[in-house]
Amino acid sequence: MAFSAVCAGLTGVAHADPNGQMYGNPQAAAPYWRYQIGEDCGLMAVADVVGQVTGKEPSQVGVELRGVFTRSEVHHGGVYFFDGTSPQDMVLLLSKYGVQSQLTTGNTLPGMEQDLAAGRKVIAAINAETIWNYPQGKGQRTSADHAVVVTGVDTRNNIVHLNDSGTPNGRNELIPLATFTRAWATSNNLLIVA
């Protein structure tokens, strides 16, 4: 669940559009979800995207070992040592599987919708406590601490579809758009797009 990212501003919240549409393909992405063990949400997001792009999803142990033995570009040691993965190192790991990606901040919902419409795969940095609706006073809600794969945005129903490794029901998890935008804002709207 640990995920390091920069905390910053808020985004506007879209309103339901009776003429809205689905951006992305949550049903096609759903088979690549898996439940995380420990603090490996970033690695599970990488494995999910690798599976969607190549059709060959790395095993949980395989991606964890690659994370342990790949030298980090952000800190001393491996990309992963059972305590989370930086977004920059997630881009590095994706490249080790032959998947090119770009990390950016300050993204917008319409931009993400266009990425999904173009068939790109999207990882977002979010605040888990917000997405999972933790009770007030439980956990923090001000910084990003989790990585999810955004598989669809339904503008007709104001729903964001996620492959969220942090919950047993995270395969094609449905999150209200307003909740997602609050959780995403904690990372300055960080995305990794492949």
> Minimum mean pLDDT among 6-15, 126-135, 144-153: which range?
6-15
Say if residue 27's pLDDT is above 80. Answer: yes
Provide the mean pLDDT of the chain.
92
Scored b (16 or more CB within 10 A) or e, 148-163 reads: bbbbbbbbeebbbbbb
Say if residue 6's pLDDT is above 70. Answer: no
Task: Give residue 20's identity as a one-letter amino acid code.
Answer: G
Measured in degrees and rounded to the nearest 5, phi and psi for residue 143 equal -135, 155
In 3D space, the residue among 8, 15, 12, 87 whose CA is nearest the CA of residue 49 turns out to be: 87
Residue 141: inside a domain: yes
- How far apart, in whole angstroms, are the C-alpha atoms of residue 154 and residue 184? 17
Instruction: Say which CATH number the domain at 101 has.
Output: 3.90.70.10
Residue 1: inside a domain: no
**pLDDT score, position 16:** 62
Residue 99: strand, helix, or coil: coil
Measured in degrees and rounded to the nearest 5, phi and psi for residue 182 equal -65, -45
pLDDT band at 94 (very low <50, low <70, confident <90, very high): very high
Q: What is the mean pLDDT of the segment spanning 31-60?
A: 97
- How far apart, in whole angstroms, are the C-alpha atoms of residue 157 and residue 186? 23
Number of domain units in the chain:
1
**Do residues 82 and 39 touch, judged by C-beta distance below 8 A?**
yes
Residue 183: inside a domain: yes
Say if residue 149's pLDDT is above 90. Answer: yes
Residue 104: inside a domain: yes
| Long-range pairs of 47-52 with CB within 8 A, sequence gap ≥ 24 | 48/149, 48/163, 48/165, 49/94, 49/99, 49/101, 49/121, 49/123, 49/149, 49/192, 49/194, 50/94, 50/97, 50/99, 52/28, 52/121, 52/149
Q: Is the dihedral of CA 163, 26, 88, 110 positive or negative?
A: negative
**pLDDT score, position 15:** 54
Residue 150: inside a domain: yes
Residue 90: inside a domain: yes
- How far apart, in whole angstroms, are the C-alpha atoms of residue 179 and residue 13? 9
pLDDT band at 137 (very low <50, low <70, confident <90, very high): confident
Cα dist. 161→29, 73, 100 in Å?
A: 10, 30, 23
Residue 101: inside a domain: yes
Say if residue 18's pLDDT is above 90. Answer: no
- Full residue range of the structural domain in which residue 54 is found: 22-193
Residue 5: inside a domain: no
- How far apart, in whole angstroms, are the C-alpha atoms of residue 155 and residue 169? 22
Say if residue 172's pLDDT is above 90. Answer: yes
